[in-house]
Amino acid sequence: MNSVKRACGNCNLRELCLPFGLSNDELERVDEMVTTRRKIKQGEYLYRAGSAFESIYAIRSGFFKTDVLLEDGRDQVTGFQMGGELLGLDGISTELHTCNSVALENSEVCIIPFSRLETLSREIRTLQNHFHKVMSREIVRDHGVMMLLGTMRAEERLAAFLLNLSQRFTARGYSHADFYMRMTREEIGSYLGLKLETVSRAFSRLQEAGHIAVQQKHVRILNIAGLKALMNRQPA
């Protein structure tokens, strides 16, 4: 943990993150709310299911996954998060975290005490509205995953996944067509409702079809249109 001044004002993720669309004045007030950061090493937990919820977290750098697990040991990755995205929204409802959040690379988050966020968003309309939009966006994203898990075949799921990553990398100023994935095949599989072998085969088939070039975690997208077309194929 370390405290900071001018957290948000200087952050280049500002426009992707919570302070989106705020005036300088308002930005300063948000800065007062976000006084501490926390570094999380690769493999460490940001929070665990069942622990008390007090804050949400904005990713300043790095990469995370969230997962839930059943009593019997089965688990499901519910999302991968990158810079500018918020973690911990699931904890608001019961004031307990309902999933685990693990850093997939060395990362840093800004700590946003939730009660202060509520106070401030009673005072700043723009902040309030934007926070609501962020929560709503998470719901929409989840519906997309449900769609994917409920109706798509393995290759379509992977195509959808890669397109989504690509688009999020683009929004952060990275190449849309050439990136390293931080997660393993098994984690991708868990997220997509597939086994790691199936994920691996799907990668191979997309490569054979000339849509992508893969080498371990390094992916290059060669034919975006092809991937998109794949997603909209009728099943069977």
Least distance from C-beta 76 to its own copies, angstroms?
5
Least distance from C-beta 131 to its own copies, angstroms?
8
Of residues 4, 27, 149, 214, which one binds its own copies by CB under 8 A? 149
Q: Under a CB-based contact definition with an 8 Å cutoff, are residues 121 and 18 in contact? A: no
Q: Which does 122 bind (CB under 5 to 8 A by kind): its own copies, DNA, none?
A: its own copies
Does residue 190 interact with its own copies by CB under 8 A?
A: yes
Q: Which does 94 bind (CB under 5 to 8 A by kind): its own copies, DNA, none?
A: its own copies
Task: Read off the DSSP letter of residue 90.
Answer: G
SS3 65: strand
Of residues 5, 25, 52, 73, which one binds its own copies by CB under 8 A? 73
Q: Which does 155 bind (CB under 5 to 8 A by kind): DNA, its own copies, none?
A: DNA
Question: What strands lie across the sheet with 55-61, from one edge to the other?
Answer: 2-3, 36-40, 107-113, 55-61, 86-87
CA 119 to centroid of chain Cα atoms: 26
Report how far residue 88's alpha carbon sits from residue 236's, in angstroms, rounded to the nearest whole number. 38
* Residue 123 burial (C-beta neighbours within 10 Å; 0-12, 13-18, 19+): exposed
Least distance from C-beta 235 to its own copies, angstroms?
7
Strand-strand pairing, 212-215 and 75-82:
unpaired
Report how far residue 54's alpha carbon sits from residue 134's, in angstroms, rounded to the nearest whole number. 18
Q: Which residues bind DNA (CB under 7 A)?
A: 153-155, 184-186, 193-201, 203-204, 214-217, 235-236
Q: Which does 151 bind (CB under 5 to 8 A by kind): DNA, its own copies, none?
A: its own copies
Does residue 24 interact with its own copies by CB under 8 A?
A: no
Binding site for its own copies (CB under 8 A): 68, 70-76, 78, 89-94, 98-99, 118, 121-123, 125, 128-129, 132-140, 142-147, 149-151, 190-193, 231-235
